Amino acid sequence: MIFAEGKSSLKIITYSDLHLEFGIKFQLSKNSDADLMILSGDIITSNTCDYLLDFLKGWDKPVLYVMGNHEYYNPYSNISEIN
């Protein structure tokens, strides 16, 4: 179960269409008390996940990554290898 001990609700933060490969420095909300992050498509279209890893620095909770159409533009994407 994803609920923190003693909690009966789930807080979710979601991001979509960030296109991190363009070098825009999106930053995670510093004050988020979310239990789960959902990345819902078009986050990165690159053969490297460095932009995504930089974006996720400091986030230590579960992430659900739903690929969008832009993730499929690069057949060499190694997004599935991120733990």
pLDDT of residue 24: 80
pLDDT of residue 72: 73
**Better-predicted residue by pLDDT, 44 or 80:** 44
Q: Could you write out the three-class secondary structure of the chain?
A: CCCCCCCCCCCEEEECCCCHHHCCCCCCCCCCCCCEEEEECCCCCCCCCHHHHHHHCCCCCCEEEECCHHHHHCCCCCHHHCC
Which pLDDT tens digit goes with each residue over 19-67?
888 888 888 877 888 999 999 988 887 777 888 888 898 898 999 988 8
